[in-house]
Amino acid sequence: MNDSRRLKVFLDSKVALYNQPSFIDGDPICIPHSFSLKQDIEISGLFAAVLAWGNRTTIINNCRKLMLWMDNTPYDFILNHQETDLKRFLGFAHRTFNTTDLLYFISFLQYHFSNSDSLEDAFVSGKHYTRPNIEEALVHFHNYFFSIEHPERTKKHIATPRRNSACKRLNMYLRWMVRNDNKGVDFGIWKKIKPSQLICPLDVHVARVAERLGILPDIKSNWTNAIALTTYLKTLNSKDPAVYDFALFGLGMGERF
């Protein structure tokens, strides 16, 4: 068995271990799993992904707080809230994401859902996305997200490949929305983007694992390495490279190998 085949067997075993419903409760993906309406999943998932840095318990608790303040009906709240309803969000903070950022997110989402019934349209225009990967979709989303009047500080919370960002949290969000393997973790509710076009979410923990496995030359968390990692993962699974996020993330969380 050659090295590539041996690595595929190893990573596939870790995917099987972590791509299970038991993974959900301790992960930010548990937030959108609280809902069944497509738009509720999209909105709660976006907040869960954007806030997904730091302690996972704190991430989940802060996201649950936001959903509670949205009356646990985020789509209805986004479309129909009154100005006075926003007072409950004053003082919210998660790391560097503060009230100013939160209120702009709410404003943008109201603007978007007043014109579209899915957040998928914020990434992809038209019936299908035909590019080899989602780079242009991420650029489009960033530009569209800030196409209305916005606070400059909020730009740091929506990454773009144009700045060589790994776009880890947005790639994770797209994995949640696009992948559909009937394992019960990812939702697969978006159909314009194919799983083969996804980029594997990359942060320093995943990069460190990839370097140890000989996939990446260093542990830099940037777009260049995200592309390099995904390009290699496509040699293991061309139709679904992001499935290995389960394996690499699980290994990066401290499992010895």
In-domain check, residue 42 = yes
In-domain check, residue 95 = yes
Q: Which two tokens stand for residue 121?
A: 């349209």
Domain that holds residue 37: 3-252
Q: Where are the beta strands (DSSP E) in the chain?
A: 93-94, 97-98
CB 169 within 8 A of CB 132: no
In-domain check, residue 181 = yes
* pLDDT, the chain, mean: 96
pTM of structure:
0.96
How does pLDDT run across 136-194, given as a tens digit for each residue?
A: 999 999 999 999 999 999 999 999 999 999 999 999 999 999 999 999 999 999 999 99
**Residues 148-187 as b or e (16 or more Cβ within 10 Å = b):** eebeeebbebbbbbeeebbbbbbbbbbbbbbbeeebebbb
In-domain check, residue 151 = yes
**Residues 206-228 as b or e (16 or more Cβ within 10 Å = b):** bbbbbbebebbeebbbbbebbbb
Output the pLDDT for position 27.
Answer: 96
In-domain check, residue 64 = yes
In-domain check, residue 154 = yes
Confidence of residue 253 (pLDDT cuts 50, 70, 90): confident
Rg of the chain over Cα atoms, rounded to whole angstroms, equals 18
How does pLDDT run across 10-46, given as a tens digit for each residue?
A: 999 999 999 999 999 999 999 999 999 999 999 999 9
In-domain check, residue 257 = no
Query: With the C-alpha atoms ordered 116, 117, 119, 125, is the resulting torsion angle positive or negative?
Result: negative
CB 166 within 8 A of CB 225: yes
Number of folded domains that form the chain: 1
User: DSSP code of 12?
Assistant: H
Output the pLDDT for position 257.
Answer: 53
State the number of CA atoms in the 13 A half-sphere of 178 facing the CB.
Answer: 28
Residue 150 sits at φ, ψ, to 5 deg, of -145, 155
Q: Which two tokens stand for residue 6?
A: 């041996």
Task: Compute the distance between CA of residue 104 and CA of residue 238 in angstroms, rounded to an integer.
Answer: 38
CB 11 within 8 A of CB 17: no
Task: Compute the distance between CA of residue 257 and CA of residue 254 in angstroms, rounded to an integer.
Answer: 9
CB 172 within 8 A of CB 201: yes
CB 154 within 8 A of CB 219: no
